[in-house]
């Protein structure tokens, strides 16, 4: 099929009207004195905590593990073997065990893990990959980096995640794969998506950057698709500052993944002192996406306290959910009862009325917490600009043609009406949750009466 060529004038129009809409272009709402009105009403509520939990929180073993790695003589997977086992390999085993998956290949970032996953699928150059319009830019930019074309799909309005219905709207004869993002604090319905994709010959990769430990009927997020990709960036529930991981049950893919991660090298089965632990197995050309040893040591420590942190956050979130239930709003994301394990990253609180930028600013002033609004859908994001790289020109033209008349109303609604709260707030005492819920309820009432 012959595709139309996008000329410079059309490209300029597209940039001006759609993809380059600024992140903060919505006008202030009609509630400039919202925080003043709210302060008058809050006198009857529970007192706010003296301080909210900070983030990140070093685990008890963080310092000894990092110091041990510091003095180990091995700071990278590309270091000479000296008889000491790498923390990188320890973390890979521990994280795989935590998720209930066979293999884990740690990486420097989740973005790298996504590129590796797509390259491991061995798709034809220019194939299309469906990604949600509501996600961080790396989900789409990784597709470009792998020589493929992202197709932005709308999300389910209740969950903020892909569904078979929204994926179907983005399919073309060139679609080869789907990247499913578990957004904020809700998992996508992976069994249904896997069945839908399998019937159409589509590979499924899970972007699990925001869902460490979440589970659907006992099965962890990241273990449904061919690959699951995780982020260990500073703000995530499992953090080492910057880091990532790719997990899979496909034993036949492990060497290929390790080579994609370490410049065509994979681990030797029996290394000897004085030689590199990585052998040049060279079945596929790779890149250097390795996780450093100091970061890996920190992850080993942080993983030890993740279950306890999850338990505290989740109990407080369920309390918060119950305190808002039965009121006239605002809403929280719908969580399917089959998702039997929560993993909170950001908590979206959806206000049907009012300007969410103004509401976020007011809640921040009232509580001392950092409330913020979601970034716009990727079709309007300043961060997704493939035309700024000439090497991506053929893929960019396809991308622009595919999205010329495409809209994402559900993603747009969520980004226009939700405010987000970081998971660390829910490491607080239960009394603080009562205060927080009271502030949110009163804010909703103030917005309603204007």
What does the pLDDT average to over 42-60?
82
Mean pLDDT of 52-57: 98
* pTM, two decimal places: 0.90
d(CA 152, CA 150): 6
Please name the residues in contact with 17: beta carbons below 8 A apart, sequence gap of 6 or more.
Answer: none
232 pLDDT more than 50: yes
Q: Is residue 14 part of a domain?
A: no
Percent of the chain past pLDDT 70, that is, above it, reads 89
Q: Which of 147, 179, 175, 394 is nearest to 285 (CA)?
A: 147
Is the per-residue pLDDT at 39 higher than 60?
A: no
**Is the pLDDT higher at 3 or at 228?**
228
Angle between helices 254-261 and 110-120 (to 10 degrees): 130
**What local confidence, expressed as pLDDT, does residue 15 receive?**
37
In a domain, 11, yes or no: no
Same domain, 159 and 249: yes
The answer to whether residue 359 is domain-embedded is: yes
Q: Does the pLDDT of residue 449 top 90, yes or no?
A: no
Q: Per-residue confidence at 329, pLDDT binned at 50, 70, 90? A: confident
Angle between helical axes of 34-41 and 430-449 (0-180°, round to 10): 130
143 and 288, same domain (yes or no) = yes
Specify the pLDDT at position 50: 87
Tell me which residue has tokens 């420590």. Answer: 301
The pairs formed by 191-195 with CB atoms below 8 angstroms and a separation of 24 or more are 191/216, 191/217, 191/224, 192/163, 192/164, 193/162, 193/163, 193/164, 193/167, 193/224, 194/224, 194/225
Q: Looking at the structure, do residues 50 and 197 belong to the same domain, yes or no?
A: no
Q: Which residues of 8-40 are buried (b: 16+ CB within 10 A; e: fewer)?
A: eeeeeebeeeebebeeeebeebebeebbebbee
SS3 245: strand
**Whether pLDDT at 43 is above 80:** no
- The mean pLDDT value of the chain amounts to 91
104 forms bridges with which residues in the sheet? 247
pLDDT of res. 219: 98
Residue at which a domain ends, from 304, 320, 344? 304
Residue 32 falls inside a structural domain: yes
Residue numbers of the domain that contains 282:
62-304
Q: Which residues pair with 346 in a beta bridge?
A: 422
Q: What is the pLDDT at residue 315?
A: 98
96-100 long-range contacts, CB within 8 A, separation 24+: 96/247, 98/213, 98/220, 98/303, 98/306, 99/213, 99/220, 99/222, 99/223, 99/228, 99/247, 100/219, 100/220, 100/223
Statement: residue 10 has pLDDT above 80: no
Q: What is the CATH number of the domain that holds 122?
A: 3.40.640.10
Q: What is the pLDDT of residues 304-328, one digit of tens each?
A: 999 999 999 999 999 999 999 976 7
* Position 447 confidence tier, pLDDT thresholds 50, 70, 90: confident
Q: Which has the closest alpha carbon to 210: 107, 347, 381? A: 347
Whether residues 179 and 67 fall in one domain = yes
Query: Is residue 8 domain-resident?
Result: no
Same structural domain, 80 and 163: yes
| 6-32 average pLDDT score | 36
Confidence check: pLDDT of 147 > 50: yes
370 lies in a domain?
Answer: yes
Whether 24 and 90 map to the same domain: the answer is: no
> Within a domain: residue 79?
yes
Torsion of CA 426, 360, 373, 436, to 10 degrees: 20
Same domain, 309 and 418: yes
Contact predicate 147/396, CB 8 Å: no
Confidence of residue 292 (pLDDT cuts 50, 70, 90): very high
Domain end marker among 245, 279, 304: 304
Task: Give how many domains the chain has, as a whole number.
Answer: 2
Least confident of 26-30, 79-83, 209-213, 377-381: 26-30
Asked whether residue 86 falls in the same domain as residue 231, the answer is yes
> Which CATH number fits the domain that encloses residue 416?
3.90.1150.10
- Are 199 and 324 part of one and the same domain? no
45: left (phi over 0), alpha (psi -120 to 50) or beta: beta
Residues 395, 436 share a domain: yes
Is the same domain home to 265 and 199? Answer: yes
> Could you say which of 274, 304, 334 is where a domain stops?
304
Does residue 258 share a domain with residue 369? no
């Amino acid at each position: 099929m012959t595709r139309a060529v996008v000329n410079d004038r059309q490209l300029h129009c597209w940039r001006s009207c759609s993809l380059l809409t600024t992140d903060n272009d919505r006008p202030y709402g009609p509630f400039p004195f919202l925080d003043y009105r709210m302060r008058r009403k809050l006198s009857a509520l529970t007192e706010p905590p003296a301080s909210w939990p900070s983030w990140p929180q070093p685990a008890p073993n963080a310092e000894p593990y990092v110091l041990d790695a510091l003095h180990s003589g091995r700071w990278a997977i590309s270091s000479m073997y000296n008889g000491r086992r790498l923390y990188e390999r320890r973390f890979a085993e521990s994280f795989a065990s935590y998720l209930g998956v066979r293999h884990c290949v740690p990486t420097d970032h989740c973005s790298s893990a996504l590129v590796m996953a797509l390259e491991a699928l061995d798709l034809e150059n220019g194939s299309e990959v469906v990604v949600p319009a509501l996600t961080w830019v790396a989900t789409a930019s990784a597709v470009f980096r792998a020589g493929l074309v992202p197709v932005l799909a709308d999300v389910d309005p209740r969950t903020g995640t892909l569904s078979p219905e929204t994926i179907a709207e983005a399919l073309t004869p060139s679609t080869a794969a789907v990247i499913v993002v578990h957004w904020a604090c809700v998992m996508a319905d992976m069994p249904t998506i896997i069945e839908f994709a399998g019937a159409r010959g589509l590979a499924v990769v899970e972007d699990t950057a925001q869902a460490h430990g979440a589970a659907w009927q006992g099965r962890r997020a990241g273990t449904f698709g061919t690959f699951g990709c995780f982020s260990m960036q500073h703000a995530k529930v499992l953090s080492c500052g910057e880091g990532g991981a790719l997990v899979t049950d496909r034993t036949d893919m492990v060497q290929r993944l390790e080579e994609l991660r370490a410049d065509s090298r994979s681990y030797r089965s029996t290394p000897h002192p004085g030689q590199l632990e990585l052998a040049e197995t060279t079945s596929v050309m790779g890149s250097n996406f390795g996780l450093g040893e100091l970061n890996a040591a920190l992850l080993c420590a942080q993983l030890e306290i993740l279950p306890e942190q999850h338990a505290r956050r989740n109990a407080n979130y369920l309390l918060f959910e119950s305190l808002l239930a039965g009121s006239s709003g605002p809403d929280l994301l719908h969580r399917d009862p089959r998702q039997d394990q929560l993993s909170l990253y950001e908590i979206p609180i959806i206000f049907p009325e009012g300007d969410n930028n103004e509401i976020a600013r007011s809640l921040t002033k009232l509580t001392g917490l950092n409330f913020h609004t979601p970034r716009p859908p990727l079709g309007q994001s300043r961060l997704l600009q493939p035309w700024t790289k000439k090497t991506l020109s053929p893929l960019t033209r396809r991308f622009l043609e595919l999205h010329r008349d495409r809209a994402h109303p559900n993603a747009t609604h969520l980004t226009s009406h939700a405010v987000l709260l970081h998971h660390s707030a829910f490491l607080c005492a239960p009394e603080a949750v009562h205060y927080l819920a009271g502030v949110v309820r009163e804010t909703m009432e103030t917005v309603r009466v204007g």
